[in-house]
Amino acid sequence: MREKGIYSVQAVVKAIDLLEALAHGGENSSIVVLENKLGLSRNKTFRLLATLEDKGLVERNKETNTYNLGLQAFEMAQHILKSDNVINMAHPIMVELARKLDEAIYFTVANNNEVLFLDMVDSFQQIKTADLVGQRFPFFSNAAGKVIKSFGSIDLFGRGSKKNGIKDVQQLEVELDEIRRKGVAVDFNGLGEGICTVAVVIRDYAGKVVGALTLLAPSFRMLQDRLEKEVIPCMLEGGELLSMKFGYSRAYA
């Protein structure tokens, strides 16, 4: 049995230390705070952060020049904890929403540059949308991706915006601000003609985005009056209940 630490690579050790510092830091941390915690020079700390940012493990808030854990770090944690645990927590609330609204309810998560539809509880309707479990879609093609991105601090509009189908960045920023304010996203025809998606964000004990509860239905059943009086209030309530199961508190809002 080898002696502990005999083959340690210091750069890797420091990178892990940095991720742990961000995980336990709560609020976004500045480079000064991080270099003091790690006992590193400004230059070494910056290079570590830049490398981890390139890999999506760290995000930089350009307005405040502070750092926090990135989406990729969360995705890695999800794989470690196994998505089954997440689904088991979400499924009872999905069942309740599906029965109350009689529409298909999905649990969706960020997966690389796309939204992954993980689990679904179907409706009893005769006319329904196709089963999308296991399928991935670009973030901005549906309500789930938009609501997840609206609560993220990552730069969404730089490299690759054309590839992601973003035609008008300014208009999208306005839309995401509105989604963030209301806590719900509604999208028509993004996943196909005549399909409506309604999504609310799910957050954990640290206020981080876990995923989204997403309703899929034919557009003709999603009239404005029903959306405002029935669908959106139910989805918001379900999202809040599930976030609470993940330990989320309004104090993080």
pLDDT of residue 5 exceeding 60, the answer is no
How far is Cα of residue 168 from the mean position of the Cα atoms in its chain? 22
Range of the domain at 37: 10-69
Percentage of residues in the chain having pLDDT higher than 70: 81
Regarding whether 205 and 143 lie in a shared domain, the answer is: yes
48-51 — which CB contacts under 8 Å span 24+ positions?
48/11, 48/14, 48/15, 48/18, 49/18, 51/15
Residue with tokens 């054309």: 162
Q: Of 55-69, 73-87, 134-148, where does the model show the most confidence?
A: 134-148
Q: Are 248 and 204 in contact (CB under 8 A)?
A: yes
pLDDT, residue 72, reads 73
By DSSP bridging, strand 66-69 and strand 104-111 are unpaired
Residue 24 has a pLDDT of 67
Nearest-10 crossing angle of helices 10-25, 42-54: 80
Overall domain count for the chain: 2
Same domain, residue pair 132 and 191 = yes
- Digit-coded pLDDT (tens) for 81-92: 445 577 788 999
Over range 52-63, report the average pLDDT: 85
Q: What is the mean pLDDT of the chain?
A: 83
Residue 193 belongs to a domain: yes
Residue 69 scores a pLDDT above 60 = yes
- 44, 69, 94: which is the final residue of a domain? 69
Span 118-141, pLDDT tens digits: 889 999 988 888 888 888 898 888
Higher pLDDT, 188 or 56: 188
Q: Are residues 85 and 34 in the same domain?
A: no
Residue 104, pLDDT score: 96
Of 21, 38, 69, which one is at a domain's C-terminal end? 69
CA distance 56 to 74: 10
Domain-embedded: residue 106 = yes
User: Which of the two residues, 76 and 156, has the higher pLDDT score?
Assistant: 76
Task: Kindly state whether residues 61 and 151 are assigned to the same domain.
Answer: no
**86 in the same domain as 15:** no
